[in-house]
Structure 1
Amino acid sequence: MQRKVLVAGAQGVIGRAAAIRLAAQPETTVLGLSRRTEPAIPNVEAVSVDLLDPARVRESLGEVRDVTHIVFGAYIEKQTAAEKSTVNVAILRNLLDVVEETSPGLRHVTFYQGGKAYGADLGPFKTPAREDDPRLMPPNFYYDQEDLLRERQKGKDWSFTALRPEAVCGFAIGNPMNLLTVIAVYAAISKELGIPLRFPGTEAAYRALYQVSSADILAEAADWAGTTPAARNEIFNITNGDYFRWQHMWPRIARMFGMDWADPIPMPLATYMTDKGPLWDRMTKRYGLQPIPYDKVASWPFGDFIFASGFDNISSTIKARQAGFQACIDTEDMFRNQFRHLSDLKVIPLVP
């Protein structure tokens, strides 16, 4: 069956992976929506649009017809929870206002939530987290986007699916929440300085159980959700399918870069890495890397947040398995493969 998919936030780590996955499927046309249209995504038509401006959304998409699926990975960062809800509900509403009008054959909307639905950003929470766990005190833009979709979907033929990953790992430029590039750039700079790779977070975080989500696994889940009746109007936790402790994973990551490692030291990356721009510029020239601005290649505050979370962060993926989604990956293999991919893309120096 023919699909025409709008991927909102196509230049982000989630949206880019989804667009690449969907564009490779038969009988599928993909339009990538983003304020930026570079770097280009193979076989994806780039559409520059500011989803926060209703008039611009209509101007950019008003002539686009026959959309069957929306994959909504767009996100706008704001300081407060209330501000996040206001703007992130608005961009979803603005897109739906146009697509529902121009594409009456719309069949499915996939959107993304995450650990904040369980309070992972607030402190220790019930684990393993399940999709039927009760909501927290609002505002929470995940809940507000979900409520918008549930209300608009009533009496209509289209359905939605919410996917809940944790610490998505993949490639995107300027993405504020990308753990992969934080680790990769931190390791590359440490190696260049001739120092061992130290875990820069707390002892508690070093020993806590954690999980991550491969952007590729998440993209596969978006593809699955849009065509699977069991996913209609449901929420699913989507992670790699395993758990780990940094105390065991960190030495293995060091070996992936051909480095020694040392005992963890709580070292705020936002303090100690922000002055490394000139060094990164020299490394870019020395190793022939992509000329990505240093402030766009990694988000140190996000790394600090993850590496200071001194409590278990695990969620159950049983519901997705029971609904038919079986994709998984060993997280050590994911890190190894993705570091090599970043090296192949000339984002970081050669990985042994």
Structure 2
Amino acid sequence: MILLACGEFKSKVLLGKNQAPRSRSATTTPVRSRSVTTTLVRSRTVSNDLPGYDSDLIAEQQIWAAVDPNARNEAFNCTNGDVFQWKHLRKVLAEQFEIENYGLEDGKCSERVRLEEIMKGKESVWEEIVRENQLQPTKLNEVAVWSYADTVMNIGAGYLVSMNKSKEHGFLGFRNSISSFVTWIGRLKSHKIVP
């Protein structure tokens, strides 16, 4: 939970189970972790049997909750506002990272994965990818919080967060999850974090 204070009142924006404090990077951890994982899939060092919210939206809602009197002393969920499953992201990742066969058949991927385990021993592969693509010099453990990514991606299809209370109090922000991922992947590429 993040507590915001402004003037004489306080508002809370509750970040759902899928939310983590922002890391050093300006992008969301799920986007970074999936982008880096997909890069390793493309390099053929990680198999593709793998199954977020937009940080701009979180910031937008936090600012609203801090300054709008309608949000006074209230707690709110924060989510993109659409129904999203990780399997819907597979085609987007394949397109964004130019991978022809990215296991797009439904039901062919594991429901539970542990990226923290999968990424062990891949440091040298990441270093080579960084060098070959002239990316920003980063270590594999710096580009994503793998344990958090595991939590986010293993929540399952039955987890939904309602934004109704936020809407009732005047916050109407939302993001299309697929479009958001494309935007953030583009930002990662433009900042030379992923190829």
8 Å CA contact 2:46, 2:118 repeated in 1 = no
Task: State how far apart, in whole Å, the 2-side matches of 1:325 and 1:160 are.
Answer: 16
TM norm structure 1: 0.48
1:348 aligns with 2:194: yes
1:319 aligns with 2:170: no
1:178 aligns with 2:24: no
- 1:162 is paired with a residue whose SS is strand
- 2:10 is paired with a residue whose SS is strand
Aligned to 2:10: 160
Task: State how far apart, in whole Å, the 1-side matches of 2:113 and 2:89 are.
Answer: 18
Task: State how far apart, in whole Å, the 1-side matches of 2:151 and 2:167 are.
Answer: 30
Matches within 5 A, 1:191-270: 191-193=42-44, 197-199=48-50, 201=51, 212-259=52-99, 260-262=101-103, 263-265=108-110, 266-270=112-116
Task: State how far apart, in whole Å, the 1-side matches of 2:45 and 2:92 are.
Answer: 18
1:217 offset after TM fit, Å?
A: 0.5
Task: State how far apart, in whole Å, the 2-side matches of 1:217 and 1:230 are.
Answer: 18
- 1:316 is paired with a residue whose SS is coil
Q: Deviations over 1:108-148 (max 9, x none)?
A: 617xxxxxxxxxxxxxxxxxxxxxxxxxxxxxxxxxxxxxx
1:307 offset after TM fit, Å?
A: 2.8
The one-letter code of the counterpart of 2:37 is: Y
TM norm structure 2: 0.83
- 1:241 is paired with a residue whose SS is coil
Q: 1:215 to 1:345 in 2, by over 3 A?
A: same
Aligned to 2:117: 271
Task: State how far apart, in whole Å, the 1-side matches of 2:154 and 2:134 are.
Answer: 33
Q: Deviations over 1:24-78 (max 9, x none)?
A: xxxxxxxxxxxxxxxxxxxxxxxxxxxxxxxxxxxxxxxxxxxxxxxx96xxxxx
Task: State how far apart, in whole Å, the 1-side matches of 2:183 and 2:19 are.
Answer: 15
8 Å CA contact 1:269, 1:301 repeated in 2 = yes
Aligned to 2:181: 335
* Structure number with bigger Rg: 1
Identical aligned residues as a percent: 23
Q: 1:168 to 1:267 in 2, by over 3 A?
A: closer
Q: 1:335 to 1:272 in 2, by over 3 A?
A: same
Q: 1:261 to 1:196 in 2, by over 3 A?
A: farther
Task: State how far apart, in whole Å, the 1-side matches of 2:97 and 2:21 are.
Answer: 17
The one-letter code of the counterpart of 1:290 is: Q
Moved more, 264-273 or 235-244: 264-273
Q: Deviations over 1:78-117 (max 9, x none)?
A: xxxxxxxxxxxxxx9xxxxxxxxxxxxxxx617xxxxxxx
Q: 1:317 to 1:249 in 2, by over 3 A?
A: same
Task: State how far apart, in whole Å, the 2-side matches of 1:171 and 1:163 are.
Answer: 14
1:342 offset after TM fit, Å?
A: 0.6
1:109 aligns with 2:21: no
Matches within 5 A, 1:40-189: 109=5, 158-166=8-16, 167-168=18-19, 172-173=23-24, 178-189=29-40
Structure 1's consecutive aligned runs of 4 or more residues displaced over 6 angstroms after TM superposition are none
The one-letter code of the counterpart of 1:217 is: L
- 1:213 is paired with a residue whose SS is coil
1:290 aligns with 2:130: no
Unaligned runs of 5+ in 1: 1-71, 74-91, 93-107, 111-156, 202-211
Q: Number of paired residues?
A: 187
| RMSD, matched Cα | 2.8
Q: 1:280 to 1:171 in 2, by over 3 A?
A: farther
